[in-house]
Amino acid sequence: MKFSHKNLLGIAELSQSDILTILNLTNNFRQVLDRPIPIVPALRGKTIVNLFFEPSTRTATSFAIAAKRLSADIVNFAIKSSSVIKGETLLDTAKNIEAMKVDGVVIRSSYPGAAHFLAKHLKAFVVNAGDGAHEHPTQALSDIYTISQRIKKFPDLKVLIVGDITHSRVARSDILAFSKLGAKVAICGPPTLIPIGIEKTGCEIFYKLDHILSEVDVVVALRLQRERQQVGLFPSIREYRALYGLTKERLLKLRRPLIIMHPGPINWGVELDPAVATTPHSVVLEQVKNGVAVRMAVLYALAGGETDAKG
């Protein structure tokens, strides 16, 4: 069987069975990664372009490693030295990529819909590696894969996402991904960082962390960008940490252990205490490791690989 989508633009477009297909493939590739020589020839001869319009080390690297593990050629389109600086539009860039006959494009942009725009103009497959505050589907797939390794039944699961929901593409993709698998999702943060109507995407809103923290199995802490303070969205880091920080004291009060996730990069001492990250309940580094396997699964599926193959 082939994957039924040409592109991966967001979790919004995926059905539950699409998600399970990717998780299944991820499992196979996760085993590949543990081999002494972690490479398969699945995408030999394919060329993928990494088109990152925003600085990103981990996601760009994760896609590059995923492509190499599949024996694909991956080319990093370096924005700083490119004609984008000279005023070239995304459409021009798309047409140029098309002319060079590549098989797939991975795009990261600060603008929501950039991946959709590219997909409309390209025959090559497009993977959204984050578009503004819209979606970051491979991060969400990596998050649910990581959870699936620890907890088998999603319908019994309660997930809490804490922090700046308004500006977070991870939050939007996570809410969709977890709820499509049947988990209950709650979000928590100051109302100034919770966008209007978010509850209608499948989550419940809480303003006070301690009330909801004791009821969930998984907590996803989001990065708080310090610039948000300057526009008045929260009064100080000190107060933010007091209200929404995942501190050791706060977690020690809980009766049961929580799985702690963070999409990175972490603001230590703001949304997450360093002491918390090193506990066995933190799966932050597993998320990163699984991220490579998820991206292998996505690239493989979109490049036309058999999605029911055994690894």
Partner 1 sequence: MLKDKIILTGGIIVDPVKKKLTESDIYIEQGIIKKIGKNFKASGTQILDIKGNYIAPGFIDLHTHLRQPGREDEETIATGAYAALAGGFTKVCCMPNTEPAIDNEGVVKFILQEQALAGYAQVLPVGAATKGRAGAEISEIGQLVAAGIVAISDDGDPISDPRVMRQVLEYAKIFDLPVISHCEIKALSANGVMNEGIISTRLGLRGIPDIAEAAMVYEHILLADYTKSRLHIAHISTKKSVEIIRWAKEKGISITAETCPHYFSLTEEMCETFDSNYKVNPPLRTKMDAEAIKEALADGTIDVIATDHAPHLASEKEVEFDLAPFGMIGLETAFAIGYEELVLKKYLNLIDYIAKLTCEPAKVLKLDLPTIAEGKTANLVIFDPKAKWVYQKEIIKSKSQNSPFIGRELKGKISKVIIGNHLFEF
Provide the annotated binding site for carbamoyl phosphate: 58-59, 108, 136, 139, 264-265
> In terms of CB distance, is 38 or 195 closer to partner 1?
195
Residues in the annotated binding site for L-aspartate: 86, 169, 223
Site residues (vs partner 1, CB under 8 A): 12, 89-91, 109-114, 116-117, 131-135, 169, 172, 195-198, 200-201
- Where helices occur in 100-150 by DSSP H, the ranges are 114-121, 137-148
Report the nearest approach of partner 1 to the CB of residue 252 (Å).
35
> In terms of CB distance, is 147 or 233 closer to partner 1?
233
Residue 92 CA to residue 23 CA, distance in Å, equals: 35
Q: Which two tokens stand for residue 18?
A: 């699409």
Q: What's the order of all strands across the beta sheet hosting 125-131?
A: 73-77, 47-52, 104-109, 125-131
> In terms of CB distance, is 113 or 264 closer to partner 1?
113
DSSP 56-90: -SHHHHHHHHHHHHTT-EEEEE-GGGSTTTTT--H
The residue behind tokens 């990250």 is: 277
Report the nearest approach of partner 1 to the CB of residue 213 (Å).
24
Report the nearest approach of partner 1 to the CB of residue 112 (Å).
4
Within a 10 A sphere around the Cβ of 240, how many other Cβ atoms? Answer: 24
Report the nearest approach of partner 1 to the CB of residue 90 (Å).
6
> In terms of CB distance, is 112 or 304 closer to partner 1?
112
